[in-house]
Amino acid sequence: MRRLRLLTATLLLVGATALLAPQQGQTAPGMKKRDRVALARYAENVGLQRASLAKTQGLLATKLTTRQDEMKRRLRAIYKLSRANWPRLWFEPEARRESARWVGAARRVAMRDIREIDMLHDEIAMANRADARLVEEGRLRPAATPRRRSLQWPVQDSSIVQHYGEYKGPSHRVKLRSRGVRIESEAGQAVFAVAAGRVRYQGPIRGLGTSLIIDHGNAMSVLGNLHRPSVRAGDTVERDTVVATAEGESVYLEVRLVVGERGLNVNPEPLLADAD
């Protein structure tokens, strides 16, 4: 029972936090080959998530049926036992005391069964809602990638110090993957919005410190490693709006196509104005 609850919670957490991508074959006009490949891979990943979720739903349904059958058998046994002891209860005080003991024990077992059945019903409902979200969001189509060189640099007169994609870690033995780029900055330097939009989130993101997520309609930008943001969730920003200052030697920038709750990250380097 506990193992099933942990498995369900893990799958629901993945479903809640992961990108819910379109079905295979649904690509946006103007998407580059690398974006189509990434989208197809994510669609495959979502399919695997749905398959795992379906397996969990099957296990939960089997567990529920088994628990309900066990409860019915116990209730029938209790009824038969009580019927057999009825004549003694009228004449024997010890029989009445014994009957009270096993009736109390039977009641506790029945209440335990009812609680477990209720929990299973709740977990099945949660799994069904998670699957419905995957199906619904899977019908969405991503917006077109922003035009080449259409985004402003968040830090002016700067350069990229860590590129998008795979790179070697500090030990040079492990390959890591960056979903965005790091742009050179100085502590306290102004950080600009890359395009007009609305601030969706302002706050901490693990690994990026204080961050901003800005919705630009066809894409979202994620700015990280910021200090003292001057905007908050719900604010409207323009292309030249100063949204924060840099925390240190670099500012993180990530661009995501609008798909599902978190979006599909794409390479921001070709999208920055006057990028080499």
- Residue 117 three-state SS: helix
Q: Chain-wide mean pLDDT for the chain?
A: 77
Nearest partner of 24 among 2, 41, 5, 48, judged by Cα: 41
Q: Which amino acid is at 217?
A: G
pTM above 0.95, yes or no: no
176-179's contacts with Cβ under 8 Å and 24+ in sequence apart are 179/254, 179/265
**Do residues 224 and 252 touch, judged by C-beta distance below 8 A?**
yes
State the pLDDT at residue 236: 95
- Which residue ranges make up each domain of the chain? 2-138, 160-271
Residue 126 has pLDDT above 50, yes or no: yes
Per-residue model confidence as pLDDT tens digits over 29-68: 445 565 566 567 667 767 777 888 888 889 989 999 998 8
Q: 188 in the Ramachandran plot: left (φ > 0), alpha (ψ -120 to 50) or beta?
A: left
150-159, 174-183, 211-220: which has the minimum mean pLDDT?
Answer: 174-183
In angstroms, the CA 155 to CA 225 distance is: 12
Homologous superfamily, domain 160-271: Glucose Permease (Domain IIA) (2.70.70.10)
Mean pLDDT of 167-176: 68
The confidence score (pLDDT) of residue 6 equals 42
Tens of pLDDT along 93-111? 776 677 677 777 777 888 8
- Summarize pLDDT for 226-266 with one digit per residue, the tens: 998 999 999 999 998 999 999 999 999 999 887 656 667 88
pLDDT at 107: 77
Residue whose structure tokens are 């116990």: 74
Cα–Cα distance, 187 to 249 (Å, whole number): 6
Would you say 222 and 178 are in contact if contact means Cβ atoms under 8 Å apart? Answer: no
Rounded distance between C-alpha atoms, residue 162 and residue 20, angstroms: 27
Banded model confidence at residue 5, pLDDT cuts 50, 70, 90 = very low
Phi, psi (deg, nearest 5) at residue 29: -65, 140
Residue in the block written with tokens 């992961």? 18
Encoded amino acid at 269, one letter: E
